[in-house]
Amino acid sequence: MAGLFAASFALYIQSTTMMEAAMGETKKTKVLIIGSGPAGYTAAVYAARAMLEPVLVQGIQPGGQLTITTEVENWPGETEIQGPDLMVKMESHAKAMGAEVITDIITDLDLSKRPFIAQSDSGTVYEAAAVILATGAQARWLDLPSEEKFKGFGVSACATCDGFFYRGKEVVVIGGGNTAVEEALFLTNFASKVTLIHRRDTLRSEKILQERLFKNPKIEVLWNHAVEEVLGDENPLGVTGVRVKSTVDGAEKVVPCDGFFVAIGHAPSSELVTEQLKLHSGGYVWVDPGSTRTSVEGVFAAGDLTDHTYRQAVTSAGMGCMAALDAEKWLAEQGEAE
């Protein structure tokens, strides 16, 4: 029921706000927030409460990454809430505080002069004194249809988020870099057995991590295999194993498991600013340490877009708060806050 409510509410929001954003108008705002994940909505709450009348553009995934998961158990104040429901609450909160939330996609952003100009999919042009970038990141997936089917029902890209659900169970991790090894080690805190599957015969991760991995009695490494299909039950929907194929001789076999963790990396959604802002390797937006200030004055960044380490809803929300406070201070210095 909760899911149905979320879906219909999201549709309602979409139909009303799309109308608002249409017709090629120019919308002026003190603060333009790009992105509607935990970072964007938290920034909107704080900016609205600071009387900055923020405009938030939701993008192609209103509500962000949490809309594609089920239970969230680590959002303070909620012992268990469905990801989409949490994001509907955040959206309502931002609106209740006075933020204008618009379903639209920013297609081009000019940060070379002020006011900053954003072009959008609907034809609306946004003119902003300050910009908060909260466009998040996307986990890299294998792009198997079976992986898609079981996302949130045994397939995950976040051990920190979902490892807890696999207490005493067997899990598979796919990947060969630092992320995969760290996720495999982390999962041994819960799982009875962790199988790390890698398509080559060596790992790319740091040697010290490899040492810890090989020493851990709960971890088995399956070399030279690629995942062909995630296997599972229909009712209730859940993973029971993965079908793998040898990259050496093509032989297939099934590895039984209850959870399947894809750890082949993340891609920050920084396309709008690639040529305009200083970035970390991997495309994450650089911010002045301890703040959300980017390399362009008046432009702030928050959440997974700038964070390659923690990547959690609560840390993103925290950075969204920081971005709104940083923007407020900067606007006041420019005489633009009132």
Ligand X SMILES: Cc1cc2nc3c(=O)[nH]c(=O)nc-3n(C[C@H](O)[C@H](O)[C@H](O)COP(=O)(O)OP(=O)(O)OC[C@H]3O[C@@H](n4cnc5c(N)ncnc54)[C@H](O)[C@@H]3O)c2cc1C
Give the residues lining the site for ligand X (CB under 6 A). Answer: 34-40, 57-62, 64-66, 68-69, 72, 74, 105-106, 134-137, 139, 156-158, 161, 269, 272, 303-305, 311-314, 316
**Smallest separation (angstroms) from ligand X to the CB of 332:** 25
The pair of structure tokens assigned to 114 is 């002020």
- Nearest approach, Cβ of 81 to ligand X (angstroms)? 10
Q: How far is the CB of 151 from ligand X (least distance, A)?
A: 6
Query: β-pairing, 55-57 with 125-133?
Result: unpaired
Whether residue 162 lies in the annotated active site:
yes
Nearer to ligand X, 76 or 335 (CB): 76
Q: Closest CB to ligand X among 144 and 158?
A: 158
What is the nearest approach in angstroms of ligand X to the Cβ of residue 193?
23
Shortest distance (Å) from residue 47 CB to ligand X: 14
Q: For residues 284 and 330, which CB has a smaller minimum distance to ligand X in the complex?
A: 284
Catalytic residue chosen out of the listed positions 162, 304, 307, 326:
162
Concerning whether 233 is annotated as a catalytic residue, the answer is no
First to last CA, the chain: 44
> Which CB atom, from 89 or from 245, has the smaller least distance to ligand X?
89
Residue with tokens 């002020």: 114
Q: Which among 161, 257, 304, 307 is annotated as catalytic?
A: 161
| The one-letter amino acid at 189 | N
- Catalytic position from the list 108, 110, 121, 158: 158
Q: For ligand X, which is the closer residue by CB, 62 or 213?
A: 62
Is the Cβ of residue 50 or residue 155 nearer to ligand X in the bound state? 155
Q: Which residues contact 318 (CB under 8 A, 6 or more apart)?
A: 42
- Least distance to ligand X, CB of residue 113, Å: 20
Tell me how far apart the alpha carbons of residues 220 and 186 are, in angstroms, rounded to a whole number: 14
Question: The tokens of 162 are what?
Answer: 């979902």
Q: For this structure, is 257 an active site residue?
A: no
Which positions are annotated as active-site residues? 158, 161-162
